[in-house]
Amino acid sequence: MIARALRRVAWPALALAAGALAALAPAGPASAEVMADKKCLKCHAEINKMDNVVAGDFQSRSGKAKSISVMVAPGKNIILKFTPQTTVENVPDLKALKKPIPVRVSYVKQGSDLVATAIVAKPKIKVPDSQMMEVKELAALVAKGPDKGGYTLVDSRPPIRFNEGNIPTSINIPFPKMPDMMGKLPKDKSQLVIFYCQGFR
């Protein structure tokens, strides 16, 4: 099924989503080495412009070797060292990182080692039950159409996923581009806005 999660999101929640996106935005201009999983780049193309970054799914941590492993492609893991100065965001500490949480790791080269300076885990999103929508409820609205149903249905996945298949009547506003595409949302703030994606942590 296309939608693993359906949710109604109030306007303040959009600001929260934009804030979460800002936390993943590049810290400044860059170029050079980027080792990133293709699925990361589908939503976060800006990673290509960042200097010395690894992006993919966290795999493991070794306290003895003081290193972490990040999978950037099937069968391809990048090993990075960590130090007491390595910062971690969106999880309490390094020990809280579990497979396969997506991470973006900034690093510096020290000899042959890649040493992590900052690890940003994909933010955990908790949608209140009161903002969740059952599939049957959505199906009933879609059958009426946006005008009679009084809703706007937003597919927040990347365009490539939207083009592969989507829920009828939905419009595509990819999550990373949401701040720039707010004009596609209804001007009437009281109208029902329903978002769906491929799931969240």
The full set of domain ranges for the chain reads 5-17+133-197, 31-121
**What pLDDT does 150 receive?**
94
The whole-angstrom separation of Cα 186 and Cα 153 is 11
Amino acid at 195: F
First to last CA, the chain: 18
The whole-angstrom separation of Cα 181 and Cα 130 is 26
Instruction: Give average pLDDT by consecutive 10-residue segment, the chain, 201 residues.
Output: 43 40 39 74 82 95 96 94 96 93 96 96 85 93 95 91 94 86 90 85 58
Fold of 31-121: OB fold (Dihydrolipoamide Acetyltransferase, E2P) (2.40.50)
The whole-angstrom separation of Cα 14 and Cα 194 is 12
Domain 5-17+133-197: homologous superfamily in CATH: Rhodanese-like domain (3.40.250.10)
197 close to 157: Cβ distance less than 8 angstroms: yes
The whole-angstrom separation of Cα 91 and Cα 122 is 9
The whole-angstrom separation of Cα 42 and Cα 159 is 9
**What pLDDT does 39 receive?**
82
